[in-house]
Amino acid sequence: MADVTKATVDREAQQVSGSRVVDATPEQIFDLLTDPTRHGEIDGSGMVQQARGDTARLEMGTRFGMDMKMGPLPYRITNTVVEYEENRLIAWQHLGKHRWRYELEPVDGGTLVTETFDYSTAVSSKGIELMGYPKKHCANIDATLERLADLFA
């Protein structure tokens, strides 16, 4: 298996996914992913600014706020953790219902991290496609996985 699988769009599944082997244990990576104050460190889109409000460790059902920025426009979003398996899987969504998912699999050399933007659960998956987000998120996912790997290098 290659250390990096560039993100691609699966229009039928309505998902964008990419993978990378990171030189860390699943536990180390999961600790970072469950700490919302660290999300800005790995965000490859440049949109995540900082956590807001309660920044306790994320678990199933946790609601957490983020200060965001799209171009010059700041905004706030509240996410809810909707998938959770300790040290293996975490996903959250906001009012648009699309999900950001991280799956962790121990492999030789570290952990295979797969990040997925899943818009099959979205309120308007067609709107997401019309706005061009699936294609845009390919580069964002690749950049996020690179930043994550750099943190553990």
Q: What is the pLDDT of residues 6-43, one digit of tens each?
A: 999 999 999 999 999 999 999 999 999 999 999 999 99
**Sheet of 99-107: strands edge to edge?**
4-10, 15-22, 110-118, 99-107, 89-93, 73-85, 63-70, 48-52
Mean pLDDT of 38-64: 93
| pLDDT of 2 | 59
**Residue carrying structure tokens 């959770």:** 84
Burial class (CB in 10 A: 0-12, 13-18, 19+), 98: buried
Both tokens assigned to 8: 């691609």
Q: What is the DSSP letter of 38?
A: G
CATH number attached to the domain at 4-151? 3.30.530.20
> Are the CB atoms for 103 and 114 separated by under 8 Å?
yes
Sorted by where each begins, the domain ranges of the chain are 4-151
The secondary structure of residue 1, as a DSSP letter, is: -
